[in-house]
A and B are shown apart, each in its own frame.
Chain A
Amino acid sequence: MSIGTSTDMSTAGAAQPPRADQVTPSRVLRSEWIKLWTLRSTFWTLLAAIVVTVGLGMLFSWGFAGHAADPKDPVPDAAMRAVTVPLQPYVIAQLAIGVLGVMIITGEYSTGMIRATLAAVPTRLPVLCAKAAVFAVVVLVLMEAMAFVAFFGGEAIIATHHLDASLSSPQALRIVVGVGLYLTVVGLLGTALGAIIRNTAGAIAALFGILLILPLLGEVLNLTSWGKHVTPYLPSNAGGDLLTNMPDPGSLGPWTGFALFCLYTAGAMAVASYLLRRRDV
């Protein structure tokens, strides 16, 4: 490097003295924490996720218990299903969590807030990291807790019909813990897609296209010889492996599948980060 360019670098501010009031990761986290909890949509979507997870979990358990106890028409694999039925509403709860994950970033683009945000933190990347971190911690803690509530509540109902399942049942603990993990990653995938697409409707469509429509196409593909090479690797199939004790033949296994789901999300986050740094707002 010539002397000329090195002086240019120093005037460009590469080596500024630190100052007490500078932007720091913890300050950006604090800012994003305030942002998350000062919008009504946060409360409504989280409340919806709670009601669905716990309320529908109990309802499913009650329906299942009545049906499973009928000696004339026994449910196959009832003991296995007794573990997953109370948690099954995660499929619906992911809609609320996914929408919230999208909106924490697209809400800023649709209102113009993003310009104020990025003017306050012009290095940009800390904003996306802080948003994702704050959101992930909130969803993980809350939905993990709700998964346990739904499981214990559901099992209490099922137990009245002489079917037993508890955390010590095979794979039960993994599945209960898995609900919070899966929902958190769904939300983060939403955030990444929101940051890439920068439009609420578009990002929600993309997210649920990936989570809900792709597996249906996978079913179709399963009718061909291609199916077994593609279907297990689809994001929601891979992620869903964590939440089942009756895996489809050819599935990747709980932790391998979930790791692949995380990898997809990390890939989307990497694209989102790259674009956030590059694009005009």
Chain B
Amino acid sequence: MIEAKGLTKRYGDKTAVDDLTFTVEPGVVTGFLGPNGAGKSTTMRLILGLDRPTAGSVTVNGRPYAALRAPLREVGALLEAKAVHTGRTATNHLRALAATTGIPRSRVDEVIDLVGLQDVARRRAGAFSLGMGQRLGIASALLGNPPTLILDEPVNGLDPEGILWIRTLLKNLAAEGRTILVSSHLMSEMALTAEHLIVIGRGRLMADTSVREFIERASTGTVKVRSPQAAELREALGGRPGVGVAEAVEGALEVIGLTSDEIGQTAADHSITLFELSPQHTSLEEAFMALTSDAVEYRAGRVAEEAPV
């Protein structure tokens, strides 16, 4: 269990993390979502005690990270950049980390096999591809078999097979009752992996909800209708309270406030032919972007917006 209370981090006059309060529960994969520069990595560094919060606090299993007696056995972390000395082999990197909490050599070989690095375990990490580097990072996170895992963009640089592998791995680890926090800037990836979502933008909490709720909230309830008798249909549907009808293009209507069933029935009652009747679900990516659009740090066209008129 990870608990953040009023977590705030400022660098100079720039606020990277702004009064975040959330709880990451055990037993499910929690997705930590936000556009680039939203403060995900900073939050993760704060959890791991690598950065010191300006205000607020964050605990892992009820304790600040720095108070953990055997950190690697309690929290496993994959950090954004490769946190590996490029001159050391994968095995030696893991041996050095394992030594801090007396993890035996056999466990080092075990995690190397687990992440599929056995063929390159004696190669220096500097020669690793991005995907191999990610696997090594995941191996170091799993080294102490910890009940809590914090992974920053773990699918970065993995091939489709690797992405599937990590998705399954995370779900299995969560099913064992572990607490798992996984960051990503890709909503579509999180929809497949996570059950719970914490969404942040510009360091602020935008949503703390289950993936299902997030999807439901995201759908706007618009129904698209195409008909050769669009004008007649518009008249038939109009005039009811709470219903909006707009003609998007010639022969196509967008209806808000009615279900597709109701529209179909109305059309049948007026003997109006329909070519298409489709409820519009906003894609997760669109919902995510709608939620965070005000909070995007780096956006194309921003310069133009800010240019003097």
Do A and B pair up? The answer is yes
Taking Cβ atoms with an 8 Å cutoff, the residues of A that contact B are: 11-14, 16, 18-23, 27-28, 30-32, 34-35, 38-41, 107-108, 111-123, 278, 280-281
Taking Cβ atoms with an 8 Å cutoff, the residues of B that contact A are: 45, 48-52, 62-73, 75, 77, 79, 81-89, 92-93, 95-97, 99-103, 140
Q: How far does the alpha carbon of A120 sit from the alpha carbon of B95 in the complex, in Å? A: 12
> Given A112-B84, A280-B50: A13 and B63 within 8 A (CB)?
yes
B50–A13 touching, CB < 8 Å: no
B101–A119 touching, CB < 8 Å: no
Chain A, residue nearest B11 (CB): A280
> Given A119-B77, A120-B72: A11 and B83 within 8 A (CB)?
no
Q: Shortest CB–CB separation between residue B6 and chain A, in angstroms?
A: 15
Q: Shortest CB–CB separation between residue B1 and chain A, in angstroms?
A: 13
Can you list 11 pairs linking A and B with CB atoms under 8 Å apart?
A14-B67, A27-B100, A28-B99, A31-B97, A112-B82, A115-B45, A115-B48, A116-B79, A119-B49, A121-B100, A278-B52
Q: Shortest CB–CB separation between residue B73 and chain A, in angstroms?
A: 6
A107–B85 touching, CB < 8 Å: yes
Chain B, residue nearest A116 (CB): B83
Q: Which residues of A contact B50 (CB under 8 A)?
A: 115, 118-119, 280-281
Q: How far does the alpha carbon of A233 sit from the alpha carbon of B226 in the complex, in Å? A: 90
B99–A34 touching, CB < 8 Å: yes
Closest 3 CB pairs of A and B: A13-B67, A13-B63, A38-B92
Q: Which residues of A contact B48 (CB under 8 A)?
A: 115, 119, 122
SS class of chain A's interface: helix, strand, loop or mixed?
helix
Q: How far does the alpha carbon of A108 sit from the alpha carbon of B49 in the complex, in Å? A: 17
Q: Shortest CB–CB separation between residue A83 and chain B, in angstroms?
A: 40
Of A11, A27, A108, A115, most buried by chain B (CB within 10 Å of CB) is: A115
Chain A, residue nearest B63 (CB): A13
Q: How far does the alpha carbon of A12 sit from the alpha carbon of B68 in the complex, in Å? A: 10
> Given A13-B63, A120-B97, A122-B49: A21 and B102 within 8 A (CB)?
yes
Q: How far does the alpha carbon of A38 sit from the alpha carbon of B244 in the complex, in Å? A: 70
Which listed residue (B49, B67, B84, B96) contacts A31, Cβ 8 A? B96
Q: Which residues of B contact A19 (CB under 8 A)?
A: 69-70
A108–B85 touching, CB < 8 Å: yes
Q: How far does the alpha carbon of A16 sit from the alpha carbon of B68 in the complex, in Å? A: 9
A13–B100 touching, CB < 8 Å: no
Q: Shortest CB–CB separation between residue B86 and chain A, in angstroms?
A: 5
Q: Shortest CB–CB separation between residue B28 and chain A, in angstroms?
A: 24
Q: Shortest CB–CB separation between residue A112 and chain B, in angstroms?
A: 5
Which listed residue (A13, A20, A116) contacts B97, Cβ 8 A? A116
Q: Which residues of A contact B52 (CB under 8 A)?
A: 278, 280
B79–A112 touching, CB < 8 Å: yes
Q: Shortest CB–CB separation between residue A114 and chain B, in angstroms?
A: 8
Q: Which residues of B contact A13 (CB under 8 A)?
A: 62-64, 67-68
> Given A34-B92, A115-B50: A120 and B82 within 8 A (CB)?
no
B100–A16 touching, CB < 8 Å: no
> Given A38-B88, A39-B85, A115-B50: A122 and B68 within 8 A (CB)?
yes
Q: Which residues of A contact B73 (CB under 8 A)?
A: 21
Q: Which residues of B contact A23 (CB under 8 A)?
A: 69-71, 100-101
Q: Shortest CB–CB separation between residue B9 and chain A, in angstroms?
A: 9
Of B62, B63, B96, most buried by chain A (CB within 10 Å of CB) is: B96
